[in-house]
Amino acid sequence: MDLGLKGKVALVTGAGSQRGFGRGIVQVLAKEGCDIAACDIDINGAEQTAAEIAQTGVRAIAVKADITNSAEVKDAVKKALDEFGRIDILVNNAGGSTPPQSFVDTTEEEWAKDINLNLIGMTHCTRAVLPQMIERGSGSIVNISSIGGIMGTPGGTAYTSAKAGVIIFTRSLAQETANAGISVNCIAPSLGNTAFYDEFPKEFTDSFVGKAVEAGRFVTPEDIGNAVAFLASDISNRIMGQCLNV
Amino acid sequence: MDLGLKDKVALITGAGSQIGFGKGMAMTLAKEGCDIVVCDMDMEGAEKTAADVRGLGRKAIALKMDITSTAEVKEGVAAALKEFGKIDILINNAGVGTQPKPFVDTTEDEWDTNININLRGTMIVTQAVLPQMIERKSGKIVSMSSTAGLSGMSTGGVYGAAKAGVTLFTNALSKEVDEYGINVNCMAPGLGATNFHKASNFPQEYVDKFVKEMAASGRTTTPEELGIVAAFLCSDVSRKITGQCIRVAGLM
């Protein structure tokens, strides 16, 4: 099936980790013919991803941004626009969570950190990328929420609240920009064998993540990439403001 | 993106109407390389769709199937298995509604129509096709829910209840057959410029004005659009998507 993505330009945040969803997203989009701006707070990782992608024949650059810093995000988007002239696809993938703990033990700082990184950060990126999409009357935005943002998880009140916010932000924005020819959807991945859990207590990752990985009950970066590519394609434009559980 | 659907066998119910969602899905899957079992109560329509599938270079057979008749469904599935040896993909598309009216005015016959065709029919066909999927430890099922089955629609409560049943049946079954590598999903289309409203005895004025206006302004869900999402859900590229209801309805 031709997704019609050849020659499109995609900016993907959180694309620096070499075992993350972002890299899988970039790989699938590049395979479909997209040029890539790989964005990450870790510029070395982003450069590694970009270098690998450039070898497949599409154009790829690395841009540095801490997505919670709107000035840095603006700079990164400007750099991508200077290079490619436009951004057709924005994938808000960067995110992360403070280690799981009960709500009463959560500090205001930890709350702010989860909300800033997972909800406010993606609004910075969206605000920076959207105007040129509206101007051109076309564009696709795919946000990465989480299954936790639908079901909730004990010990993850801040993170899951932020991810639930992503789902409704997606729906509202889709309704706002549909007439401008812009599609906005999100994906709720379940557990992945990524760096997401690296800062979590070892006993948690061993028992929870380890068991799921052992049983094959985890999603791969490629699974997420496939879903992103499908939603980013114009052929799925009748899907609007939705959250796809992967 | 290679969906890997070449030489898969898909059975699609309600694929006889030449302007319907079923035919759109049949043609999209055929373009991706599937052979198609075209089922419909209207045998003449099913034959037409099958002929168009063959025109794309794939194999196709037409079967007469009233999905509320367990005997007819079993017979049809047996004939399909005899022809192709397997059914990899089941699309539960056949469905219908009844004339919109206040719930207090609806008859039990109308309840039966909605529930027997949309919900019970989906279960009958699924039960007939599923065993060989379980045996082969692979399969994809995509059923048809509706936006009216996700959020209620005034004067369409019984239809909506039947379609909501499809959504939940989908989710429950997906959990049951996950261990066999079978994905079960459904789609909730928005309004389509199909034969649905006529077949459901909607007022002619509704069809002539509202549906036509919606189609003219590009706000209806087309058979092709639904076919594309069905093909994605039937592919292994979406292997981790199961139990879901995908709304394919624009902003409706």
Query: What span, in angstroms and rounded, lies between the C-alpha atoms of B100 and B93?
Result: 21
- Fold for domain A9-236+240-244? Rossmann fold (3.40.50)
In this prediction the pTM is 0.94
Q: Is B159 a catalytic residue?
A: yes
Residues of B in contact with A236 (CB under 8 A): 225, 228-229, 232
**Interface subset of B 27-56, CB within 8 angstroms of A:** 32
Measured between beta carbons, the chain B residues lying within 8 angstroms of A175 are 251
Token pair 């066909």 is found at B125
CATH superfamily, domain B9-248, is: NAD(P)-binding Rossmann-like Domain (3.40.50.720)
**Sheet with strand A182-188: strands edge to edge:** A60-64, A35-40, A9-13, A89-92, A139-144, A182-188, A243-245
Using a CB-CB cut-off of 8 Å, the residues of chain B touching A1 are 1-3, 32, 228, 231-232
A239 to B232: CB separation less than 8 angstroms, yes or no: no
Quick one: pLDDT at residue A217? 82
The pLDDT score that the predictor gives to residue A198 is: 83
Distances (CA, A) of B61 to B10, B75, B93: 11, 14, 17
**What is the average pLDDT score of chain B?**
97
Which structure tokens are listed for B166? 């499809």
What string of pLDDT tens digits covers the 246 residues of chain A? 999 999 999 999 999 999 899 999 999 999 999 999 999 999 999 999 999 999 999 999 999 999 999 999 999 999 999 999 999 999 999 999 999 999 999 999 999 999 999 999 999 999 999 999 999 999 999 999 999 999 999 999 999 999 999 999 999 999 999 999 999 999 999 888 888 888 888 887 787 778 888 888 889 999 999 999 999 999 999 999 999 999
Among B2, B221, B239, the residue with its CB nearest the CB of A238 is B221
Mean pLDDT within B57-70:
98
Q: Which of B238, B247, B251 sits opposite A227 (nearest CB)?
A: B238
Residue A204 CB neighbour total at 10 angstroms: 14
Q: Is the pLDDT of residue B134 over 90?
A: yes
What are the tens digits of pLDDT across the range B166-213?
A: 999 999 999 999 999 999 999 999 999 999 999 999 999 988 899 999
Domain layout of chain A by residue ranges: 9-236+240-244
Interface of A with B in 69-98 (CB under 8 A): none
Ranges of each domain in chain B: 9-248
pLDDT tens column, B75-106? 999 999 999 999 999 999 999 999 999 999 99
Q: With an 8 Å Cβ cutoff, are A238 and B229 in contact?
A: yes
Calculate Rg over the CA atoms of chain B: 17
Residue of A nearest to B179 (CA): A217
Inter-chain touch A230–B1, beta carbons under 8 Å: yes
